[in-house]
Every structure is written in C-alpha cells, then in structure tokens.
Amino acid sequence: ALLRYPNDRSVREQLARVYYEDDRPLLAAQVMHPLSFDDEGAALLTAELYARAKKTDEALRVNGRVGDQKKKFKQRLAILIEAERFHEAAGLHGKVARLGLLDDEKQLYALAYAHYISGDAERTEALLGQVSDPELFTKAVALRTALDACKSDVWKCD
C-alpha cells in the first residue's frame, strides 16, 4: 500500500503501527519519518520511535523539528536519560527550568538524577528538596542516601 500510495498519511501511520506492534520500532520510525517534516505530532512520535530503537542521535534530530518548546524539551530530557547521556541531560537544566517543566515532579526527579550521575551534588540536593510525590519521594530518599554515603566515603561514589 505504501508503494502505491506513498503520500497517504493514514497508510504510513497504519504501517508504522504494524511494525511497532511487531517489535520493529526502527522500521516504524523510518516509515513515519517523512511525516515528521510537516507535522509536529508526527515528529514527536517519530523521535519516540527512534529512541525506542536505540537510535538516539536520529531521535534528537527529529525532536529538533518540534516547535512546542515544552513538548520538545520534555521529550529531549527523556531521550537523553534513557540513552544514559546524563551530562547532556543535566545541561538542559536552565532551559527546562525556564520553560516551567520543573513543576512536573517526574521531570524534576529526572533532572535531579542526571545531576547526581554527573556529580553535581549541590544541584541534586536542591532539586530533590522539591519532590513531594510519594513514589518519587522514596526514590529521592534513596538518592539522598547515596549522596550522603558518597560525601562520607569517596569510595562509595558510583
């Protein structure tokens, strides 16, 4: 169908869904990729598919096409954390804060974790102090415990 109707959006979306459900996210992303140039929703989906296929650089390139800055940087932070590119994720702190994304405690904790892995204990502590969600609070306590252990004995730092 895609060969016969290459410009039909619904054909691309359905084929991408079939590939994704068949655990082939890279093929799904490649099918959706042409739509990402004209449609922000398609760009977000395509970037997510590339990220799930472990194609981080391509996911970030497609994410760069997203115009809505909040959606763009929320996804970008998630992509970088998932790819374990913690220094880059921590580098988004200023932009994420300016966009007001730290009001979302999941984003707040993700950024705190990136700072923790990057070795910035001061920023990690400052961010963890804002966590109140019960599930995230438990994770924050564990992170604080690791920070305290690291401060008392440098050999316990990861």
| Cα–Cα distance measured from residue 5 to residue 122, given in angstroms and rounded to the nearest whole number | 55
- The predicted structure's pLDDT at residue 140: 80
- Across the range 15-43, mean pLDDT stands at 96
Q: What is the average pLDDT value for the chain, to the nearest integer? A: 90
- The predicted structure's pLDDT at residue 36: 95
- The predicted structure's pLDDT at residue 136: 78
- The predicted structure's pLDDT at residue 153: 61
Question: Is the pLDDT assigned to residue 3 strictly greater than 90?
Answer: no
- Across the range 102-115, mean pLDDT stands at 91
Q: How confident is the model at residue 157 (pLDDT cuts 50, 70, 90)?
A: low
Cβ burial of 26 (10 Å; 0-12, 13-18, 19+) is middle
Angle at 60 between CA 59 and CA 63, to 5 degrees: 85
- The predicted structure's pLDDT at residue 6: 81
- Across the range 7-25, mean pLDDT stands at 95
